[in-house]
Structure 1
């Protein structure tokens, strides 16, 4: 099989790592329906090309018997191989805006940009059941190239964006990330907290959504039930 023939499958391997975060060769083989040997061959080429790098899994490093499985993650150069919505021209335009109007002008631009996104996302989010709205937002973000997913934690949920089309620009202009966080809070009608961003060197943009609290009516019903069953 030629290198050209291998390219689409190698791109699938890289895309899987981009979308799901650091992955072992075994997990990639299972998720993509490939043999372990095929995945290792593609990973070796991706390593040589600087698209991915490998490290010890944090949870397993130094523990147990035998050598822990390596995990593979996308490099900054690897992210550059995926399409970016903004280039040097966008950064130059924002620099000019900052010089002429200050940081508030950049923030105003970022908020207006997010209003356009919110206008497209709102109906998709509002049509979903409340519990499914983070997932609906993640799907909308993925359609715009953010490779987003939702995960659960004891404290609530997290929206994880494994790719950021504007990461290079947002690294210099954090107002873009701040406006996006405000949009999440507005669409989901809850307080959210940005925990990590690709623009600042993290592997994934992570936004925490607190666990839903019982409504007043639910609390009253529970209290009434408690009174009825109390001896």
Structure 2
């Protein structure tokens, strides 16, 4: 999901408020947004499931402990980062000085090194198992990813992309995940892309039996 769309949602506003405050309880956030604490808790449950917030028990004076929520490092991906702009500037300079082929070679090398590490983790016997293992790897790298069974294959969904801003100007960035999917799970088709305005990135991989079917 693009950051601007995300911050228009209630969950996005909660993330933005937690960024400003550092931490807050559901009641604190409810007061800020004129919502009920229960409504805020429902949003916090989703944010916690997605790995964007964590809760901890905090004692405020002599009263019983209060649950406070704060952002995880994963939430930083929704905020503009100086290194995004720097990386875009470096790639722009490389393209202007040495041509688009130089950028392609750069990401070919990154894909090779990524595959060398990922192949050790992708050992499943079937398409769904390998996709699930790749999903685990992506989540460890800070990408909110899910894998679903679909008719004739599997679907890998990235709910946000840490490189989306850079990829808008440099689509070669996306070549890394394309190669990783092709060479660890199977040839795929991308049905949605954050870099081109989609809400998330979706990749479909058909099982061997589905491909072989007439």
Give the TM-score normalised by the residue count of structure 2: 0.62
Q: How does 1:25-64 map to 2 (within 5 A)?
A: 36-39=38-41
Out of 141, 159, 164, the position equivalent to 2:161 is: 164
Q: SS at the partner of 2:160?
A: coil
**Shift in Å at residue 168 of structure 1?**
0.5
Distance 1:7 1:109 in 2: 45
Tell me, yes or no, if structure 1 residue 80 matches structure 2 residue 78: yes
Pair 214,153 (structure 1): closer, same or farther in 2 beyond 3 Å: closer
Tell me, yes or no, if structure 1 residue 6 matches structure 2 residue 24: yes
In structure 1, the partner of 2:173 is 176
Q: Is the 8 A contact 2:194 2:201 kept in 1?
A: yes
Q: SS at the partner of 1:176?
A: helix
Pair 201,100 (structure 1): closer, same or farther in 2 beyond 3 Å: same
Distance 1:145 1:104 in 2: 29
Q: SS at the partner of 1:119?
A: helix
Distance 2:208 2:27 in 1: 41
**Shift in Å at residue 87 of structure 1?**
1.5
Moved over 4 A (4+): 7-11, 40-43
Distance 1:10 1:108 in 2: 50
Report the number of matched residues: 157
Out of 177, 187, 197, the position equivalent to 2:193 is: 197
Q: Describe the superposition over 1:35-58 as per-residue Cα deviations: whole angstroms up to 9, x where unpaired.
A: 733336879xxxxxxxxxxxxxxx
CA RMSD, 1 decimal: 3.6
**Shift in Å at residue 81 of structure 1?**
3.0
Max radius of gyration: which structure?
1
Q: Which runs of 5+ in 2 are unaligned?
A: 1-20, 30-36, 46-75
Q: Which runs of 5+ in 1 are unaligned?
A: 12-34, 44-77, 220-231
Tell me, yes or no, if structure 1 residue 150 matches structure 2 residue 152: no
Pair 215,154 (structure 1): closer, same or farther in 2 beyond 3 Å: closer
Q: Is the 8 A contact 2:152 2:210 kept in 1?
A: no
Pair 192,81 (structure 1): closer, same or farther in 2 beyond 3 Å: same
